[in-house]
């Protein structure tokens, strides 16, 4: 798999509009300020530890809030967000299920019924073990990067989240968000704002089997055909999982109950006590199931 690290300079307004969504103020839809507000119901607080499920649900809330603001004349978000989990609370055992009917419903609600399908961001939070990922899931995680819809994995190690953007052999290549950089004020009327701090040109990697078992996989489907292609690939991947899929696909939620109950739950697997390696030692006083986000 070819991996390209981009260090772009802005060339159009669309690029600046995207960066503005992540600005350092309450006016930015996905700022740290709005993130904390939206995530209160999931335990987000300044200085808190937060896992991938709570983070995905928080993004979903932020997207819904932004959609509601569209009536006030603000620019709408370009895609719906669908968090895939075993049930609404993410607590039922078994593999999460992508429900086609639910995906369609998210798109319809996002467009306020104007169109049948919209671009869709799928987020799949998973727990694939206790202290470390069960090795049976490693080939499946590698295969997700072959999906043209793949956005990578939000994962890392206990106490330090990373964004895994690709794999090669047994290595996971990632971007590290812990490099502190100056705040950049991105405004729409700026001629040539300095956006270098939004990009990374340093390649980092770690063993794929050393990542934290608590993670979230992201997929982006541009349209209905792209979503159908994703589902076909996901079904094939589940069939090749030897009874322990990362996630499955079903037409409706009623059908997904049967599929989920027959799937092997990743968080019910036991492991040995091998350490994660000198580069992935746990920070003192951290919860091994969570990441440090704030």
What is the spatial order of strands in the sheet that 171-175 belongs to?
A: 80-83, 120-127, 214-221, 150-157, 160-168, 171-175, 204-207
Q: Which residue from 179, 59, 62 is spatially nearest to 122, judged by alpha carbons? A: 59
pLDDT digits (tens, 9 = 90+) for 155-188: 887 778 889 999 998 899 998 877 777 777 776 5
* 206 contacts 174 by C-beta, under 8 angstroms: yes
Higher pLDDT, 42 or 280: 42
Higher pLDDT, 195 or 6: 195
pLDDT (0 to 100) of residue 1: 38
DSSP string, 100-165: HHHHHHHHHHHTTTS-S---EEEEEEEE-BSSSB-GGGHHHHHHHTTSTTEEEEEEEETTEEEEEE
* Mean of the per-residue pLDDT values of the chain: 78
Residue 197: strand, helix, or coil: helix
265 pLDDT higher than 50: no
* 209 contacts 140 by C-beta, under 8 angstroms: no
Higher pLDDT, 41 or 68: 41
Count of residues for the chain?
294
pLDDT (0 to 100) of residue 255: 62
Which pLDDT band holds residue 112 (cuts at 50, 70, 90)?
confident
d(CA 49, CA 287): 8
pLDDT (0 to 100) of residue 270: 30
190 pLDDT higher than 80: no
Which pLDDT band holds residue 258 (cuts at 50, 70, 90)?
very low
pLDDT digits (tens, 9 = 90+) for 20-50: 888 888 888 888 888 898 888 888 888 877 8
Q: How far is CA 149 from the centre of its chain?
A: 12
292 pLDDT higher than 50: no
pLDDT (0 to 100) of residue 250: 94
DSSP string, 17-59: HHHHTT-SSTTSTT-HHHHHHHTGGGT--TT-EE-HHHHHHHH
What DSSP designation does 208 have? G
Specify which residues 219 forms β-bridges with: 122, 150
Residue 218: strand, helix, or coil: strand
201 pLDDT higher than 80: no
* 192 contacts 99 by C-beta, under 8 angstroms: no
pLDDT (0 to 100) of residue 293: 37
Q: Which residue from 210, 159, 211, 209 is spatially nearest to 51, judged by alpha carbons? A: 159
Which pLDDT band holds residue 271 (cuts at 50, 70, 90)?
very low
* 266 contacts 22 by C-beta, under 8 angstroms: no
* 248 contacts 236 by C-beta, under 8 angstroms: no
- The conformational region for residue 197 under phi > 0 = left, psi -120 to 50 = alpha, else beta, is alpha
**Domain extents in the chain:** 13-266
pLDDT digits (tens, 9 = 90+) for 202-211: 778 999 999 9
């Amino acid at each position: 798999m070819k991996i390209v690290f981009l260090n772009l300079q802005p060339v159009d307004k669309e690029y600046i509009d995207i960066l503005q969504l992540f600005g350092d103020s309450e006016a930015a839809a996905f700022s740290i300020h709005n993130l904390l507000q939206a995530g209160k119901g999931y335990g987000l607080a300044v200085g808190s530890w937060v896992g991938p499920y709570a983070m995905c649900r928080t993004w979903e809330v932020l997207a819904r809030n932004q959609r509601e603001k569209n009536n006030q004349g603000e620019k709408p978000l370009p895609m719906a967000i669908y968090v895939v989990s075993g049930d609404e609370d993410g607590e039922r055992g078994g593999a999460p299920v992508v429900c086609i009917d639910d995906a369609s419903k998210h798109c319809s609600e996002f467009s306020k019924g104007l169109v049948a399908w919209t671009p869709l961001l799928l987020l799949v939070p998973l727990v694939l073990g206790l202290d470390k990922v069960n090795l049976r899931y490693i080939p499946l995680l590698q295969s997700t990067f072959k999906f043209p819809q793949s956005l990578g994995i939000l994962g890392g190690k206990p106490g330090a989240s990373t964004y895994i953007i690709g794999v090669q052999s047994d290595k996971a290549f990632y971007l590290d968000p812990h490099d502190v950089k100056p705040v950049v004020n991105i405004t729409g009327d700026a001629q040539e704002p300095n956006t270098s701090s939004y990009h990374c040109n340093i390649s980092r990697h770690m063993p794929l089997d050393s990542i934290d078992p608590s993670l979230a996989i992201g997929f982006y489907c541009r349209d209905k055909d792209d979503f159908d292609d994703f589902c076909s690939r996901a079904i094939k991947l589940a069939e090749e999982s030897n009874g322990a899929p990362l996630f499955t696909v079903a037409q409706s939620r009623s059908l997904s109950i049967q599929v989920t109950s027959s799937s092997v739950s990743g968080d019910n697997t036991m492991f040995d006590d091998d350490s994660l390696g000198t580069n992935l030692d746990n920070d003192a006083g951290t919860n091994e199931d969570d990441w440090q986000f704030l």
